[in-house]
Structure 1
Amino acid sequence: MTETPRDYATELLDAALMHVPFDGWSETAFKAAIQDVDVPPALARGLFPRGAIDLAAAYHRRGDGAMIAALTARDLSEMRFRDRVALAVRLRIELVEDKEAVRRGVTLFALPMHAAEGAKLIWGTADHIWTALGDTSRDINWYTKRATLSGVYSSTVLYWLGDDSLDNQATWAFLDRRIDDVMQIEKVKAQVRKAPGLGRLMKGAESILNRVKPPKARREDLPGGWTVPR
């Protein structure tokens, strides 16, 4: 009988989560996870070159994966599109198994040296949501949709971390307000397009901006933000 190979990356992440509430996403937690799993340090460093930073990023991406699975399993056909977006953000938060791990992650990625990494992860979450919901935009809207949703998602997470209401009802109300704010912006844009003078001006600007194309797909299953050579 063939023995199933060990998934060291998953084992290390699971082990680290036991230490994160006390040590944060730190080198201390990373080394403790290595000892718990009994994996050669060189192998652990090969899987997570930046140590705890890559562990925290892997934990975030794990949450994205769980959200995508839960979202695709739902029947969204009868839902308004704004409700689909709200559901995706809510699922992403509800599926978090360790709130303290998220809190520690927010603290980590708030540091100036890791802020870009944190922004990239949030952008990735927004991208996964739009992709799962069937977004086909290939112009400037590809960027604006993800930028807007990144703001909604990040602000909702911060609100959720401080929410002590029953079943996080205050957080979901906050999320609905943020989605409504975004919808108001879209309504204003639609009204501007209909205005005789402004409409032509906006259409001209949009015709230029629509030449902007989204980036080519890159692999996200590798640690450290490394990009596969073309």
Structure 2
Amino acid sequence: MIDPNDPRDAILDAALVHVPFDGWSEATLRAAAKDAGIELAEAHALFPRGAVDLALAFHRRGDEAMTKRLKSEPLDDLRFRDKVARAVRTRLEVIEDREAVRRGATLFALPQHSADGAKALWETADAIWTALGDPSDDINWYTKRATLSGVYGATVLYWLGDETPEHHETWEFLDRRIEDVMRIEKAKKTVNENRLLRTLFAGPNWALSKVRAPSRMPRMDLPGRWAGPSE
């Protein structure tokens, strides 16, 4: 939610005017602070890593907008795969400025910022699964988010180059990626239902069964925890 009294939002709004020309850069941060009437020292305090934190703030604003819209979407009657596709599509539709995303993709493609880009994709996937009420608290919590991160990242790149009316080719691409994921889930189910394969994977499955989803409160930077045999 955008707060007109929040200096972070004021700087981000001002930055979007400059991003198409200067990208997510120090020049953009300086110009945005000046346009927002905020001292540069305060802007650097709000965005300690400069352009990277500014780009991440833009990305997280999109996640928040998606979550808000999904709460009002009638999803109950949709198939599960269609719920996921709708959520990904909604995340793209709430984007304020496609050029800002393009510039962000360029920034996060740099080796020194790739970890930040991967984390941003993970946060989007987590926001989607959380909005859809995912009950997972084991290894599936991780695999769902890892898989969806890949789907969302690939769809964004396709969307950036899609000039078709209403991006219909992007939505077709998204449907194909979701279908690929469903095939993986079906394969996992087949393995679990096969007595021989279930026996072969008994050891790894036991180990994975001890993995738990991270605690939501307090928020942890680490992705999860290990549950010992006594738990």
The whole-number CA distance in structure 2 between the counterparts of 1:88 and 1:165 is 21
The whole-number CA distance in structure 2 between the counterparts of 1:66 and 1:194 is 40
Q: Structure 1: which amino acid aligns with 2:80?
A: F
Cα displacement (A) at 1:7: 1.5
Cα displacement (A) at 1:44: 1.1
Partner of 2:61: 62
Cα displacement (A) at 1:204: 4.3
1:115 aligns with 2:123: no
Are the aligned partners of 2:62 and 2:91 in contact in 1 as well (CA < 8 Å)? Answer: yes
Cα displacement (A) at 1:205: 2.5
Name the CA shift for 1:171/1:15 in 2 (closer, same or farther; >3 Å).
Answer: same
Are the aligned partners of 1:193 and 1:203 in contact in 2 as well (CA < 8 Å)? Answer: no
Partner of 1:35: 34
1:208 aligns with 2:204: no
- Residues 143-181 of structure 1: CA deviation (Å, up to 9, x unaligned): 100000000000000000011111100000000000000
Are the aligned partners of 2:33 and 2:43 in contact in 1 as well (CA < 8 Å)? Answer: yes
Which sections of structure 2, spanning at least 5 residues, go unmatched?
222-231
Cα displacement (A) at 1:131: 0.7
Aligned residue-pair number: 218
Structure with greater contact order relative to length (CA < 8 Å, sep ≥ 6): 1
Cα displacement (A) at 1:203: 4.6
The whole-number CA distance in structure 2 between the counterparts of 1:52 and 1:108 is 9
Are the aligned partners of 1:109 and 1:115 in contact in 2 as well (CA < 8 Å)? Answer: yes
SS in 1 for 2:77: coil
Q: Structure 2: which amino acid aligns with 1:49?
A: P
Are the aligned partners of 1:193 and 1:200 in contact in 2 as well (CA < 8 Å)? Answer: no
The whole-number CA distance in structure 1 between the counterparts of 2:132 and 2:164 is 29
Partner of 1:96: 95
Name the CA shift for 1:5/1:106 in 2 (closer, same or farther; >3 Å).
Answer: closer
TM-score, with length taken from structure 1:
0.90
The whole-number CA distance in structure 2 between the counterparts of 1:5 and 1:77 is 34
SS in 1 for 2:113: helix
Which sections of structure 1, spanning at least 5 residues, go unmatched?
226-230
SS in 1 for 2:64: helix
Q: Structure 2: which amino acid aligns with 1:146?
A: R
Deviates more, 1:156-165 or 1:203-212: 203-212
SS in 2 for 1:20: helix
Cα displacement (A) at 1:215: 2.6
Are the aligned partners of 2:4 and 2:10 in contact in 1 as well (CA < 8 Å)? Answer: no
After TM superposition, list the pairs within 5 Å mapping 1:186-225 onto structure 2.
186-217=185-216, 219=219
SS in 1 for 2:99: helix
TM-score, with length taken from structure 2:
0.90
Are the aligned partners of 1:68 and 1:128 in contact in 2 as well (CA < 8 Å)? Answer: yes
The whole-number CA distance in structure 2 between the counterparts of 1:137 and 1:106 is 30
1:178 aligns with 2:177: yes
Percent identity of equivalent pairs:
59
Q: CA RMSD in A?
A: 1.7
Q: Structure 1: which amino acid aligns with 2:76?
A: S
